[in-house]
Amino acid sequence: MPELPEVETTVRGLRQKVLGRTFINFWTDSPKIIKKPSSLKKFKKEIKCKKIKKIERRGKNILFHLSGNKTLLIHQKISGHLLFGKWKKKGDSWQAPPGPLADKINSFIRVIFVFKNKQMMALSDLRKFAKVELWDTIKLLESDSFRKLGQEPLERSFTFKKFKQALANRKNKIKQALMNQEIIAGIGNIYSDEILFKAKISPLRTVNSLKEKELRKTYSAIKSILKQAIKSKGDSFSDYRIITGEKGEFQETTKVYQKTGERCPRCKTIIKRIKIGGRSSHFCPKCQT
């Protein structure tokens, strides 16, 4: 699933390409992806002629703030990724021009938003788990799911003091806490593994067992790993691609994620993979204590 760095990279790319543009048409072959409003006909009617005034990220959500006090929310989920370019309809599928957009991983086009001059924003999603919602902006910001989202780890307001307070009295594993979207918004499997490796903390440690020094190391690792990943345009180990269809590069620098059986780059111990709360966790059993 695209995590904070992938979503942030997508948002930054879209700001350059679609900010200020107006939707003139819409297509989908997967109506179930459109979660709100429940009527596809109503969605098409309400999205048409809306101008994109602002694009931002909140957690793993991409928010397009539109004219008419509407907000288009897209969550890419497990295998979804947004693309920008031009496609031509060929039979039952869309054909991309030669280049990165034509890569097979970008060919699972489920949704297309059309702008002037036949420019398009498309959602490619192999598994069809992504969601698209059109909200009244105020209702979205006041919704329970949105208000429950945790702190943004790259904001100035995310201080060590607030990080420590958010973890106070928690007894679950630190790996689970980092992935809890109500504590910190945007971190998932990839970056929780890399953060804990950098901090030299075992994913099996309970939050309440961490000393002040260890919490500070974890806090620092959150900031540095996420910034590094954004600079690398995200991780394309699996389905994620940037809006041009090309791969991000963070997978070239990961230390433990998906490295089961390989040697730790610090101490040469074999990296292990275990399940914590039903999710995979990769770590070094020697230097992560």
Query: Any idea which residues carry the catalytic annotation?
Result: 2-3, 60, 279
Give the Å distances, CA to CA, from 263 to 229, 246, 272.
22, 29, 9
3-state secondary structure of 269: coil
Tell me the DSSP string of the chain.
---HHHHHHHHHHHHHHTTT-B--EEEES-GGGEEESS-HHHHHHHHTT-BEEEEEEETTEEEEEETTTEEEEEE-TTTEEEEEE--EEETTEEEPPSSGGGSGGG--EEEEEE-GGG-EEEEEESS---EEEEEEHHHHHHSHHHHT--B-TTSTT--HHHHHHHHTT--SBHHHHHH-TTTBSS--HHHHHHHHHHHT--TTSBGGG--HHHHHHHHHHHHHHHHHHHHTT---SSS---TTS---SGGGT-SSTT-TTSBPTTT-PBPEEEEETTEEEEE-TTT--
Largest pairwise CA distance in the chain: 61
φ, ψ of residue 128 to 5 degrees: the values are 60, 35
